[in-house]
Structure 1
Amino acid sequence: MTEHHVINPLSTGVDYPTLAARFRPIFQRIAEGAVEREHSRTLPYEPIQWLKQAGFGAVRVPVAYGGGGASLPQLFELLIELAAADSNVPQALRGHFAFAEDRLNAPPGAGRERWFKRFVDGDIVGCAWTEIGNVAIGDVVTQVSPDGGQWKLNGEKFYSTGSLFSDWIDVYAQRSDTGGNVIAATRTRQPGVVQRDDWDGFGQRTTGSGTARFTDAEVEAENVIDFATRFQYQTAFYQLVLLASLAGIGRAALNDVAHQVRNRTRIYSHGNAAHVSQDAQIQQVVGEVAALVYAAEASALKAAVPAQRAYLARFGGDDVAEREANVAAEIESATAQVVVSALIQQATTELFNALGASDVRQGKALDRHWRNARTVSSHNPVIYKARIVGDWVINGAQPPFVWQIGNGPGKG
């Protein structure tokens, strides 16, 4: 009998400087327009188009399929660089990279290869999971129903991050026939999909995180995916994107405060030097901000390592090793969340101690760093993550890999 071996190339990493060099000129272009987009609340359609054309959405696709072959730590290092240019952009791409990661974890086959080709061709996937309003926790109002050889999707989502810029939307829905939870990957450009830019948060204002409404939107049968097959380290993955965004916000804040201090000519009579850049106390403040940012970035990148192990273990044939890697991915991303959120909020506040009253003027938009950091930190409540980590350290309690939000039963 002839043994059949499935060819399954994985993304184990490439030379990072070479990989990053492809995108750094684009990151620079994105950075040049970041403040103006903030002032005018201009959505980053152009920056995301530049990234699509450069193949950024396919950096995790294996090289054998035309992608970048990046490891997960390399992806998140790239996202830190991108977030330093404009932290709205990596968050807008959060749903895309999560869906792409799920396809990387799918069994080898024609369906997976079709998605790889779409990513390589530049297709971007948005995200629409959360329902607001009178929805009880655990309930899914959005329904996908069989309709001949296809399916029809009906419902409404909010926090549809990145969907305004996307070619597809990763929609969390319930099958009308079985009640099973699924992902319905839906083409964006069709009459049954209506999107609104109605996200009104005080930070991360241009992530495209508004409403998506689906009315008999068509879904191809092969793109109705059983949620039970979703990659196990997904919660950790989503958190790692936010950690990269926070670290990038810190980098941007550090760059801005150094630039402002370097070029400031006004001094205080009770200061310590004839030029602010030579004032020892100012140097200390900037050095402390730099240390906060350094610690945050190091934590974010270290937390990405077990996620890569979980990805590799998915195809390793060792269930115990895979389970351990998934637990480590969740625990380490949660542990990093606890500290990185605090570090970057502190850094984006402390930077003003090195500046003057003129630096709080709206034209400089330096407050956006704190507003963005606070907004990113408000995802996935950090107090619950700290408790989960503590329960693991004390009792070895396995962390939840999937959690939900919705209305509770109310006070008794």
Structure 2
Amino acid sequence: MPSSDPFVIGSGLPVPPPVWPRTMPTVRIESDIQAIQIAQDFAHHLKQNAAERERSARFPLDELNRYSASGLWGITVPRAYGGAGVSYATLGTVVQTIAAADGALAQIAQNHWAAVAVIASCGTPEQQKELFSLILDGKRCGNAFSERGNKKLTDLSTHLVPQGDHVLINGKKYYCTGALAADLVPIVAVDKDGVAWLAIADRDTDGLTVLNDWSAFGQRQTGSGTVLLDNVKVPLTRVLPAWKAYIPESPRPDSAISQFIQAAIDGGIAQGALEETVFFVKNRTRPWIDSNQDNAHEDPYTRHILGGLFARLSACRALLDVAGKKIDAALTHPTPETVASAQVSVAEAKIFTTELAIDATNRLFELAGTASTDTRYNFDRYWRNARTHTLHDPIRWKYAIVGNYYLNGTAPPLHAWS
């Protein structure tokens, strides 16, 4: 029987916008070190009830409020506007840390940080001042980007039409991670010439409806539902020329930033699964009969497999760190060469984090044994989350991009999925 509670996952009901101001004040983070420490503390809190929360049928609004109040959502706001302006290597560490505890919560913030990057790269000083101030005060950005039914991902049917001091937007968006509980909803829409703009609407704008209809088997608590746009009015002061980041002669690393955060989420999910594997093998798993060992953690084959997985996890972290530094370099000196280098480094990291996330979440059961499949542990959430999230963009194309870059000197394509 359908639920009458809009916050029940998959209810299909419209969700009211969040109440503002929220009861918890937002922390102003001032440094990279502080950001990492707060992320570690929050991840520890998340892990205490992650399995029960993921099993729950309700959207994790309380945890989300605590997450955004931590100040982590504002750490990439430039120092000139009052933010910490942390490096992207630091952001990667923060994202991995949160995702190791809860992959869904980590993903909810992904599009927020991507929106901050667009504001920084394409916004006017006046737009940056207004929007960054709202973000530092604790306002959350959601996402209204993707569509269904179009021949290509980049073919958008959501249109904006100028009307005096504002634009009117009509369309329908899917996979709108974060929009359900957002304060601001960045909408990608095209003008009459097919040029893409980012219009940042208030969540409570008339005609903007968010449906809680996400029904995937993984990342269930991301609330990645549908956004309906019926003559949504957005002031021109909130409309940003997102297309400017993708000019071949003067690109910005916006796409690399979006992909980088996706890769860090996958790396974090892998880390969380490996931590569960170690704990279970050491405390619950029985040694295999032919091992002639008293404890499962003494099994030489188990040690061999886990050694390989942890070595790959270290490689993922290193690749993400390199990719974060390449993004920082491209932001400091944006050229076709620095942006392409950042994209390729992110693609390399994405390959490794995707493959490790799927392998590590599968090996958890192989190494921990039959007891680990008991539903009370809810370990399958790691595999379900990894398998669902890694579908965001196929790594078979990442291999091709990397190979073409080194073999033929061909820069990756300039779009949000590369």
Q: Same fold (TM over 0.5)?
A: yes
Change in 2 beyond 3 A, CA 1:167/1:137: closer
| Partner residue, 1:384 | 397
Is 1:361 matched up with 2:374?
Answer: yes
Are the equivalent residues in 1 in contact too, given 2:200–2:238 (CA < 8 A)? yes
The code of the aligned residue for 1:250 comes to A
Q: What does 1:158-169 align with in structure 2 at a 5 Å threshold?
A: 158-169=174-185
Correspondences of 1:58-73 after superposition (within 5 Å) = 58-73=74-89
Query: Do the aligned residues in 1 keep the contact of 2:206 with 2:233 (CA within 8 Å)?
Result: no
1:409 is matched with which residue?
Answer: none
Residues 265/124 of structure 1: CA separation in 2 closer, same or farther (3 Å cut): closer
Match 1:42 to one of 28, 44, 58 = 58
Distance 2:151 2:377 in 1: 41
> Aligned partners of 2:154, 2:117: CA distance in 1, in Å?
24
Corresponding residue for residue 184 of structure 1 = 199
- The aligned amino acid for 1:386 is Y
Change (3 A) 1:289 1:41: farther
CA deviation string 1:168-187 (max 9, x = no partner) = 111110225x5532111111
Is residue 222 of structure 1 aligned with residue 242 of structure 2?
no
1:33 is the counterpart of 2:75: no
Q: Which runs of 5+ in 2 are unaligned?
A: 1-28, 246-250
SS in 2 for 1:364: coil
Matched residue, 1:97: 113
User: Is 2:118–2:242's contact at 8 Å kept on the other side of the alignment?
Assistant: no
SS at match of 2:381: helix
What CA RMSD, in Å, does the superposition of the two structures yield over aligned residues? 2.3
Change (3 A) 1:275 1:109: same
Q: 1:289 Cα shift?
A: 2.5
Match of 2:360 among 329, 339, 347: 347
Shift of the 86–140 alpha-carbon distance from structure 1 to 2, 3 Å rule, reads same
Partner letter of residue 17 of structure 1?
I
CA contact (8 A) 2:255 2:417 kept: no
1:324 corresponds in structure 2 to 337
Residues 310 and 275 of structure 1: CA distance in aligned 2, closer, same or farther (over 3 Å): same
Q: 1:272 to 1:16 in 2, by over 3 A?
A: farther
Aligned-pair CA distance for 1:226? 1.9
Change in 2 beyond 3 A, CA 1:115/1:294: same
Q: Whole-Å Cα distance in 2 between the matches of residues 137 and 241 of structure 1? A: 20
Deviation at 1:250, TM superposition (A): 1.2
Q: Residue type matched to 1:306 in 2?
A: K
Taking a change above 3 Å as real, the CA distance of residues 134 and 243 of structure 1, as seen in their structure-2 partners, is closer
Q: 2:270 aligns with which of 218, 240, 250?
A: 250
Q: Distance in 1 between matches of 2:242 and 2:379?
A: 41
| Count of residue pairs brought into register by the alignment | 385
1:150 and 2:166 matched: yes
Moved more, 350-359 or 74-83: 350-359
Distance 1:20 1:136 in 2: 38
Equivalent of 1:80 in 96, 99, 102: 96
In structure 2, the partner of 1:262 is 282
1:275-309 CA-partner distances (Å, limit 9, x unpaired): 22333333333333322322222222222221111
Change in Cα spacing, 1:355 to 1:153, as seen in structure 2 (3 Å) is same
- Structure 1 residue 308 corresponds to structure 2 residue 323: no
Answer yes or no: is 1:373 the counterpart of 2:393.
Answer: no
Q: TM-score, normalised by structure 2?
A: 0.86
User: Deviations along 1:367-396, whole A, 9 cap, x unmatched?
Assistant: 222222222221111112211221111111
Compute the TM-score of the two structures, normalised by the length of structure 1: 0.87
> Is 1:197–2:212 an aligned residue pair?
yes
Q: Distance in 2 between matches of 1:65 and 1:404?
A: 28
Question: Quick check: 1:125–1:167 contact (8 Å CA) kept in 2?
Answer: yes
Where structure 1 has 5 or more consecutive residues not aligned to the other structure, the ranges are: 1-12, 315-321, 406-412
The whole-number CA distance in structure 1 between the counterparts of 2:153 and 2:38 is: 44
Correspondent of 2:130 among 103, 114, 128: 114
